[in-house]
Amino acid sequence: MSKHKHHPAKEIQNLQFFGEFGGVNPSISDSATYTFLKAKTMLDTFEGNAEGCYLYSRHTSPSNHYLATALAKMENTEAANVAASGMGAITPVILQLANSGDHIVSSRTIYGGTYAFLKNWTPKFNIDTSFVDITDLDKVEAAIRPNTKFIYAETLSNPLLELADIEALSRLAKKHNIKLVIDNTFTPLIFSPAVLGADIVIHSLTKFINGANDTVGGVICSTTEFINDLKNVNDGSSMLLGPVMDSLRSAQILKNLRTLPVRMLQHSKNAQYLAERLEKDGVKVKYPGLESYPQKALFDQMKHPDFGYGGMMTLDLKTGEMATKFMESLQDKNVGYLAVSLGFYKTLFNAPGKGTSSEVPEEEQAEMGLSDGLVRMSVGLDFDIEDTYQKMKEALNEIGFFSPETKSLN
């Protein structure tokens, strides 16, 4: 499929699910288990031969199936499986693809939890991971071994906002007959990794997709074959590890998904505004919509034309102390919350070096350019973004960011 023929927002708009009594929302299946009129149908369902029948909600429930269908449409994959959290999606994928004695090539700048799983947990089962600079394709290829099973990356990495060239990585994966797994949490709608060549696309639904910060959730989007493998009652990692999403939650996330396109537009518009203004003021801003963003051309080439550059940006405030004071001042001014996570209606900010990336050892943080002064911001849906900008500028003035001593830290 050509890159932008698939329109993720139209796919969401075009969903048509009827409720049991003709409701405009699908009915919620508030049951853990399902009855059968005939014992044989139960047996057939166990063996995966009874289309449309439900057996037990850890495998699939109607509500989870609706949400999974919607997300598969959004990501242009054949199928999907929802999970209780982003990590509940990521860990079964890793364990389904890699067995004892296998090897993984992963981007070194990924979410701290994923990093910790690959670095500290999977080695217990003799699964080894090489962490590489995902923007250096020669290094990625050099790390591939005969026992490598897949390449793992985030489209836009947490927290450094490095962009993975999915088309090039997909070519590399195909050449070596391995899979490409992409976490697209930071950039729903903006990128469609499966259209660009990824084999498996993962999201933490906790972030932009649900957008309400009231639940955790995750999804795996891929081929029907891979999703069925994950749900296989004998050896499927999702089925056997059991990170199942609750039906009430999936019904709620489906409702929030419908407003994702308008929310992403507003996140992007606001982040672009703040990034441009703050950069002009002399703050070191990293945002994909700025000309100074090192991979701007690649981002433009890969992105869908309609959703801007997303809601995530980083500011380098030079020292950890400056970053801390800045964030506390922003919270005092009600610009947003000093909190981890992202994709909320309010701006969220944290210093990932000591927070969401604290699983990454300090020397490795330094090597990848993650300094203590780095503030990660998930820009909110603010109606008056000029007012927000003025408050941010006030906070920078208050902490002495523009003073001659601070300037000399450059």
Closer of 20 and 214 to ligand PLP (Cβ): 214
Which region holds residue 192: left if phi is over 0, alpha if psi is between -120 and 50, else beta?
Answer: beta
Q: Which of 185, 210, 314, 378 binds ligand PLP (CB under 6 A)?
A: 185
Question: What count of Cα atoms within 13 Å lies in the side-chain half-sphere of residue 66?
Answer: 24
Closer of 45 and 185 to ligand PLP (Cβ): 185
Tell me which stretch binds ligand PLP (CB under 6 A): 29-37, 82-90, 222-230, 309-317: 82-90
Is 236 among the residues that bind ligand PLP (CB under 6 A)?
no
Is 190 among the residues that bind ligand PLP (CB under 6 A)?
no
Residue 222 is encoded by which pair of tokens? Answer: 């891929």
For residue 119, the SS3 value is helix
> Strands across the sheet with 347-350, in order?
284-286, 312-316, 374-378, 347-350, 336-338
Nearest C-alpha neighbor of 248 from the set 30, 22, 26: 30
Is 107 among the residues that bind ligand PLP (CB under 6 A)?
no
Tell me which stretch binds ligand PLP (CB under 6 A): 15-23, 118-126, 179-187, 373-381: 179-187
Q: Which residue is nearest to ligand PLP (CB)?
A: 86
Dihedral angle computed from the Cα positions of residues 221, 222, 225 and 230, in that order, rounded to the nearest 10 degrees: -40
Is 389 among the residues that bind ligand PLP (CB under 6 A)?
no
Please give the size of the binding site for ligand PLP, defined by CB under 6 A: 14
Tell me which stretch binds ligand PLP (CB under 6 A): 41-49, 121-129, 142-150, 178-186: 178-186
Dihedral angle computed from the Cα positions of residues 269, 182, 193 and 211, in that order, rounded to the nearest 10 degrees: -40
Is 183 among the residues that bind ligand PLP (CB under 6 A)?
yes
Rule CB under 6 A: which of 143-162 touch ligand PLP?
154, 158
Tell me which stretch binds ligand PLP (CB under 6 A): 25-33, 137-145, 181-189, 271-279: 181-189
CB within 8 Å of 275: residues ≥ 6 apart = 285, 287, 289, 290, 313
Instruction: Please give the Cα distance from 79 to 232 (Å, whole number).
Output: 14
Nearest C-alpha neighbor of 286 from the set 102, 148, 160, 125: 160
Tell me which stretch binds ligand PLP (CB under 6 A): 183-191, 231-239, 265-273, 345-353: 183-191
Is 85 among the residues that bind ligand PLP (CB under 6 A)?
yes
Residue 245 beta carbon to ligand PLP: minimum distance, rounded to whole angstroms: 11
Residue 186 beta carbon to ligand PLP: minimum distance, rounded to whole angstroms: 6
For residues 139 and 132, the answer to whether their CB atoms sit within 8 Å is: yes
Is 254 among the residues that bind ligand PLP (CB under 6 A)?
no
CA 312 to chain centroid, in Å, comes to 12
Is 378 among the residues that bind ligand PLP (CB under 6 A)?
no
Is 348 among the residues that bind ligand PLP (CB under 6 A)?
no
Q: Which of 87, 180, 196, 230 binds ligand PLP (CB under 6 A)?
A: 87
For residues 264 and 307, the answer to whether their CB atoms sit within 8 Å is: yes
Residues at the contact surface with ligand PLP, assessed by CB under 6 A: 85-87, 111, 113, 154, 158, 183, 185-186, 204, 206, 216, 218
